[in-house]
């Protein structure tokens, strides 16, 4: 695991976008894993800028998002589908049929999660996964637990995550209590991982300086990933 420290959010975003752009240029048919939340917004902006300047082409790219809230339809303005369309897909040329997110309103979540894993495998696995990290160390919606969960599944959000995400909803009661999330095994199978963390994640990143891997701090599993870059804004 490499931890690169940078001076501000824009530098972090530019550095992450550069790695993603290199991935797409080297392998135009790349399978990219995407995240939502405030951490990667700047990265998406940079990638859109490169596309608009004709420096990047996503026409052969396939994407899989980490997670989606259960119960929110695509058109809900807090669904992760909506977030991705607004912040990225509406501005670039990823073919609509190559965009995958778990379906938060699927009739059968178990089947939906199994199908999602199969779809990822069917595309040859994820070449590069972009991640953020929760203040409690979660990646995707893999919350601190007594075990690492392997595959995409329906997960309960912790109170601290519900509280943290309430800023995007009218009230805390409106935040969904469960989500469909790629598992730790799904994330770890990505060939390359890039994690972006703003200054507000200092505590979570500091924990990573310890050589301790524990499901109580899900992000710590990245110590075992062979090609993981963490880009962190150090104040
Ligand atoms: C989002 C996701 C989450 C976020 C994390 C940090 O798809 O999987 O793990 O990356 O909650 O969120 P922000 O960036 O809003 O602080």
What CATH number does residue 48 fall under?
3.40.50.1360
Question: Ligand 1 centre and the CA of 132: distance in Å?
Answer: 5
According to the model, what pLDDT value does residue 214 have? 97
**pTM for the complete prediction?**
0.98
Q: Which domain holds residue 143?
A: 2-233
State the virtual CA torsion across 152, 21, 19, 77 in degrees, nearest 10. -40
Into how many domains does the chain fold? 1
Task: Report which secondary-structure segment, H or E, holds 200.
Answer: none
3-state secondary structure of 163: helix
According to the model, what pLDDT value does residue 162 have? 95
According to the model, what pLDDT value does residue 161 have? 93
Cβ-based neighbours of 135, under 8 Å, separated by 6 or more = 160, 164, 200, 201, 203, 204
Active site residues: 67, 136, 138, 143
What residues in the chain have per-residue pLDDT under 70? none
Question: Ligand 1 centre and the CA of 137: distance in Å?
Answer: 10
Kind of pairing, strands 67-69 and 178-181? antiparallel
Please state the atom number of ligand 1 nearest to the C-alpha of residue 34. 7
According to the model, what pLDDT value does residue 235 have? 87
According to the model, what pLDDT value does residue 190 have? 98
Question: Ligand 1 centre and the CA of 58: distance in Å?
Answer: 23
Sign of CA dihedral 157, 160, 165, 170: positive
CB atoms < 10 A from the CB of 110, how many? 11
39 C-beta closer than 6 A to ligand 1: yes
228 C-beta closer than 6 A to ligand 1: no
According to the model, what pLDDT value does residue 31 have? 99
Beta bridge partners of 167: none
3-state secondary structure of 204: helix
Determine the Cα–Cα distance for residues 215 and 149; give it in Å rounded to an integer: 9
Q: Pick from 150, 112, 133, 103: which is nearest to 35 by CA?
A: 133
Q: Pick from 94, 118, 133: which is nearest to 232 by CA?
A: 133
């Amino acid at each position: 695991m490499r931890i690169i420290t940078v001076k501000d959010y824009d530098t972090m975003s530019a550095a992450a976008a550069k790695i993603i752009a290199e991935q797409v240029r080297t392998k135009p048919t790349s399978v990219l894993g995407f995240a939502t939340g405030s951490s990667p917004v700047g990265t998406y902006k940079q990638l859109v800028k490169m596309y608009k300047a004709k420096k990047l082409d996503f026409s052969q790219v396939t994407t899989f998002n980490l997670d989606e809230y259960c119960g929110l339809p695509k058109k809900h303005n807090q669904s992760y589908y909506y977030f991705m369309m607004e912040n990225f897909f509406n501005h670039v040329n990823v073919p609509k049929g190559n965009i995958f997110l778990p379906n938060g309103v699927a009739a059968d979540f178990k089947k939906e999660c199994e199908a999602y894993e199969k779809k990822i495998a069917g595309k040859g696995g994820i070449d590069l996964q972009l991640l953020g990290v929760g203040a409690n160390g979660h990646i995707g919606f893999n919350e601190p637990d007594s075990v690492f969960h392997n595959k995409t599944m329906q997960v309960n959000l912790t109170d601290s995550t519900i509280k943290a995400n309430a800023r995007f909803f009218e009230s805390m009661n409106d935040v969904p209590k469960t989500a469909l999330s790629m598992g730790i095994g799904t994330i770890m199978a990505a060939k390359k991982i890039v994690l972006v963390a703003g200054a507000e994640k200092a505590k979570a990143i500091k924990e990573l300086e310890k050589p301790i891997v524990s499901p109580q701090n899900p992000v710590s599993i990245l110590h075992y990933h062979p090609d993981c870059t963490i880009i962190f804004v150090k104040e």
